[in-house]
Amino acid sequence: MTRFREQTREQRMRIAREAEHRYGRKVAWGAQVGDTSQVFTSLSVPVMTRLRQQERQVLDTLVDSGVARSRSEALAWCVRLVGSNADTWLGELRQAMEAVQKVRDAGPAGA
C-alpha cells in the first residue's frame, strides 16, 4: 500500500484538486486490494468531550503504544471497537436489564 500511495501521489493530488474545485468539498482517498483496505487521507472534525483523568490515560496509553497517533485518533479507535462489539455487548446488557426487572417484579410492591 505504501508503494502504491507514493507512486500515485501526483495523479491523486491532481484528481483531488479537480474534484474539490468541481464539488466545492474536500475529498478523501483510500485503496482496497482483496480484503485489505487502507485510507490514505481522511477528514476529521473536532469533537467536544469532557474526559476524566482515567479516561484520558486510556487514550494516552493507546498513543504511547503506537495504536493511535493522537488522542483524537485513539478516541476514534475506541468508538470503532465499541461499534464492532456493540451488538453482542448491547444484547448482554439488555438481558441483564431484563433479569433485574424480573427481580424487581418478584419483590415487594413499592409504596
Distance from C-alpha of 8 to C-alpha of 75, rounded to nearest angstrom: 30
- Is 110 a residue whose pLDDT tops 80? no
User: What's residue 45's pLDDT?
Assistant: 61
- Going through the chain in order, the beta strands assigned E by DSSP cover 30-33, 36-39
Q: Whole-model pTM?
A: 0.41
pLDDT band per the 50, 70, 90 thresholds, residue 2:
confident
Summarize pLDDT for 63-107 with one digit per residue, the tens: 999 999 988 889 989 988 888 888 888 888 889 999 999 999 998
Q: Which of 35, 41, 55 is nearest to 13 (CA)?
A: 41
Q: What does the pLDDT read at residue 105?
A: 92
Across 42-58, average pLDDT: 77
